[in-house]
């Protein structure tokens, strides 16, 4: 079980690293002058690659997490209210991940309607989700 837990932690951390950086690319894309085609394309290539890699990391994080939850019954039974909240937050992170894909697609199609400020706030929201999940798993407050 410890090996599975270790791999889960590594892949979750790697997945979140992608989620921390990908929205930063969006902020940079929002700042690109309209006549700077090379810079825009370079950022789009970076965003596409990072999104694909982060998607693989997401799957690699979820599989051992499910294994721990369902196979070893971690977070099941009395005193596992923290797990219900954690799972809700994980669903929110998955939605956030796919929202990143939608934003990337908007930039690819010259259809971004989000302000630089909105993108900066969006960028920071993944940190809050990560912190909340870590606190729930470590502290198990309920």
pLDDT in tens, 62-109: 999 999 999 888 888 888 999 999 999 999 999 999 999 999 999 999
Domain residue ranges in the chain: 2-139
Q: 116: Cβ–Cβ under 8 A, 6 or more apart, which residues?
A: 27, 30, 31
- What's the rounded Cα separation, in Å, for the pair 59 and 63? 6
Q: What is the pTM of this model?
A: 0.94
- What's the rounded Cα separation, in Å, for the pair 87 and 97? 15
- Percentages helix, strand, coil for the chain (3-state, rounded to 5) are 80, 0, 20
Please report, for residues 59, 74, 141, the alpha-carbon distance to residue 77 in angstroms, rounded to integers and kept in the order given: 26, 9, 15
pLDDT digits (tens, 9 = 90+) for 9-61: 999 999 999 999 999 999 999 999 989 999 999 999 999 999 999 999 999 99
């Amino acid at each position: 079980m410890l090996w599975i837990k270790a791999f889960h932690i590594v892949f979750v951390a790697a997945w979140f690293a992608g989620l921390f950086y990908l929205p930063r690319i969006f902020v940079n894309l929002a700042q690109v002058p309209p006549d700077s085609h090379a810079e825009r394309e370079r950022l789009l290539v970076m965003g596409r690659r990072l999104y694909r890699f982060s998607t693989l990391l997401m799957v690699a994080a979820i599989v051992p997490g499910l294994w721990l939850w369902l196979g070893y019954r971690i977070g099941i039974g009395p005193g596992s209210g923290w797990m219900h909240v954690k799972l809700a937050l994980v669903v929110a992170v998955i939605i956030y991940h796919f929202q990143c894909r939608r934003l990337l697609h908007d930039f690819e199609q010259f259809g971004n309607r989000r302000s630089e400020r909105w993108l900066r706030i969006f960028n920071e929201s993944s940190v809050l989700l990560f912190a909340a999940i870590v606190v729930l798993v470590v502290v198990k407050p309920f």
